[in-house]
Amino acid sequence: MSLPKNIFGARAAILGGLAILTAPFLWTRLDPDFATGFVSLRLVPENGIQFLSVVVPAALVALAIAGLGRLWARYGSSKPLFETASHRLFESPRAMAATFAALAAAGFVMSGKALSLGTFVCIHMMLAIGLNVTIGFTGLLVLGYAAFYATGAYTFAIAAHALPVLPTWAALPLGFTVAAGVGFLVGLPCLRLRGDYLAIVTLGFAEALREILRNLSVTGGDMGLVVPMQARIKAIGPVGQGHASWIAAVGVTLLVALFVHRLYHSRIGRAWIAIREDETAAAMMGIPVVRLKLLAFTVSAGLAGTAGAFFAGFAGFVDPSTATFEQSVLILAMVILGGIGSLPGSILGAALLYLAPTLLRDWFPAISDYRLFFFGCILVAMMLFRPQGLCGSPRHKLELEGAS
């Protein structure tokens, strides 16, 4: 269309523009004068210096990682390493059993803190794998995924209060079924429409649900609910409560991954990918597009519900913060970072994005403030520079210019 531009010039223009536009936010401070009701503006460098002192090093680290990645792609193996490994793992029951046994046994040497951290990582792996079913396989953006997580968690907490005989394992089917049902109802009105409506509807649903959770008495309002002791994950013999949770988390995560792996490698999975690639052509192949989208969305919601119910049984409490936008964005960023449509990608993305902020918190306490900012940056940067994610094959559809 236009002459090849000087790339450096274009980048300089963007950086310059950003510097000018952000200047009032970074370098000034508003001083309200309560007596007169006016406000004045003062030049203050601290604000901007503090912001840049976090963002610039982070950007440099990201650039360095990207550079290493490029070197690896050029001189190292270009085979989709993770995809092959994950395929072999989930095709072999023996390899899965061995993985499970090894991870479960590792719990004996892990500290209490590591066990709890590991369990949380597993919960986020379940969530990322579940979200990937809609985003990755079917190409539908879901923004309020945490709503289904919260649905599962609250379902189990409420059910455990209502039925004191409810066993802990019931969390999984219960969380799955109720969240899947809710997902079905939310998806029904908008899945016949263009894909981007789903994004905003799920976003709105998550906010509405959080409001409902905070305002109803059955959900405990802002305080949330405590899960009765008998429904929580308990210590068994020599295995402490933390260790038992870790073993259960590893087991459930492997099951969730196997479930998704098997769906993916079946006619249903192929139909999902076909819908992502070309809806009209998929319909012409006899695929009921709306019904399969609804199925993907329902399964996805159900898996979030499973993770949520597991969380309730593990943590022993649920509160409205399970349904925050931040939680949804965290899961989304995991899927995007790991690789859209890639099962091992979701696992890797979940591990990285859950562990990194937690580990950084010790020597950089302000990280919790900057977390969401960086997640946003990850979403934009991955789409621009590596839409296939960290371990996707480098020729994902998203990257191809679809100009036809």
Partner 1 sequence: MTPVLKATGVSKAFGGLKAVSAVSIESHAGQILSIIGPNGAGKTTFFNCLSGIYPLDSGTVELGGGRIDGLAPHLVSRAGLSRSFQNIRLFPEMTALQNVQVGRFARSPRQILGTILRTRAWRDRERASLERSEELLAFVGLGDRADSWARALPYGLQRRLEVARALATDPKVLLLDEPGAGMNPQEIVDMMALVKSIARLGVAVVVIEHHMKLVMEISDRIVVLDHGEPIAEGSPDEIRRDPRVVEAYLGRSEEPHG
Partner 2 sequence: MQTPPNPDSGALLFSQMLEILINGLARGSVYALVALGYTMVYGILGMINFAHGEIFMIGMFAAVFALGAMGSAGLVAVGITLPLAILLAMALSAGFGVMNERIAYRKLRGAHLLAPLTSAIGMSIVLQNFVMLSVTKGKVDFPRAVAQPLANTTWSLGPVQLTALQAVIFATTFALMCGLFWLVQRTRLGIALRAVAQDRTMASLCGMKVDRLIAFAFALGSALAAAAGAMVAMYQGVLRFDSGYMIGLKAFTAAILGGIGNIPGAVLGGLIIGLTEDLTSYTIKSEWKQTTAFAILILVLWLRPRGLLGERVADKV
Binding to partner 2 (CB under 8 A) within 274-293 occurs at 276, 279-280
Amino acid identity of residue 313, one-letter, is G
Which residue, 114 or 283, is less far from partner 1 as judged by CB?
Answer: 283
d(CA 289, CA 281): 10
Stretch that binds partner 1, among 19-27, 145-153, 155-163, 261-269 (CB under 8 A): 261-269
Q: Which of 90, 183, 188, 99 lies closest to 133, judged by CA?
A: 183
Q: Using CB under 8 A, pick the residue from 22, 53, 84, 266 that binds partner 2.
A: 22
List the Cα angle 186/188/194 in 5-degree steps: 100
Stretch that binds partner 2, among 12-20, 263-271, 299-307, 351-359 (CB under 8 A): 12-20
Determine, following the binding rule CB under 8 A, whether residue 32 of this chain makes contact with partner 2.
Answer: yes
Kindly state the tokens that stand for 343: 């099962």
Q: Which does 268 bind (CB under 5 to 8 A by kind): partner 1, partner 2, none?
A: partner 1
Decide if 350 contacts 132 (C-beta within 8 A): no
Determine, following the binding rule CB under 8 A, whether residue 78 of this chain makes contact with partner 1.
Answer: no
Stretch that binds partner 2, among 75-83, 113-121, 230-238, 392-400 (CB under 8 A): 392-400
Q: Using CB under 8 A, pick the residue from 60, 105, 200, 235 that binds partner 2.
A: 200
d(CA 114, CA 121): 10
Binding to partner 2 (CB under 8 A) within 51-80 occurs at 51
Q: Tokens 């979030």 appear where?
A: 304
Which residue, 213 or 282, is less far from partner 1 as judged by CB?
Answer: 282
Stretch that binds partner 1, among 143-151, 284-292, 330-338, 362-370 (CB under 8 A): 284-292
Determine, following the binding rule CB under 8 A, whether residue 197 of this chain makes contact with partner 2.
Answer: yes
Determine, following the binding rule CB under 8 A, whether residue 285 of this chain makes contact with partner 1.
Answer: yes
Q: Please report how many Cα atoms fall inside a 13 Å half-sphere around the Cα of residue 345, on the Cβ side.
A: 28
First to last CA, the chain: 15
Q: What is the dihedral of CA 123, 128, 133, 137, to 10 degrees?
A: -160
d(CA 128, CA 347): 7
CB environment 374-391: b (16+ within 10 A), e (fewer): bbebbeebbeeebbbbbb
Q: Which does 375 bind (CB under 5 to 8 A by kind): partner 1, partner 2, none?
A: partner 2
**Secondary structure of residue 398 in the 3-state scheme:** helix
Q: Which does 193 bind (CB under 5 to 8 A by kind): partner 1, partner 2, none?
A: partner 2
Residues near partner 1, by CB under 8 A: 259, 262-263, 266-268, 270-271, 273-274, 277-278, 280-289, 395-397, 400, 404
